């Protein structure tokens, strides 16, 4: 059962840009191009969390990853705004 939980956390980090430790939206910390790939280093956006994720992406997927990250940030900001208006 623990393996299933860990796999789910890693899939969330990879596909949704969520921290594998706490589930918060991660922020891009660094990016490096090597050959036909980008290596993108993400760090957790939560102040006291040390969650990190390194992602390797082919150059042709670059636009897609930025779109996913923007959508995640928009979802989080929308949920914060909705909570504040309640």
Nearest to 39 by CA among 15, 18, 65, 20: 65
pTM value? 0.54
Q: Per residue in 55-68, pLDDT tens?
A: 888 877 655 555 56
Quickly tell me which residue has 């969520």 as its tokens.
18
Q: Per residue in 17-43, pLDDT tens?
A: 788 888 888 888 999 999 888 898 999
Q: Identify the band that residue 2 occupies on the pLDDT scale cut at 50, 70 and 90.
A: very low
Q: Parse the chain into domains and list their residue ranges.
A: 2-85
């Amino acid at each position: 059962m623990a393996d299933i939980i860990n796999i789910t956390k890693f899939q969330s980090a990879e596909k949704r840009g969520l921290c594998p430790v706490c589930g918060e939206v991660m922020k891009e910390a660094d990016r490096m191009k090597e050959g036909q790939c980008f290596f993108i280093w993400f760090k957790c956006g939560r102040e006291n969390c040390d969650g990190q994720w390194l992602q390797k992406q082919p150059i042709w997927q670059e636009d897609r990853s930025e779109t996913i990250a923007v959508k995640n940030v928009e979802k989080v900001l929308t949920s914060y705004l909705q909570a504040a208006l309640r």
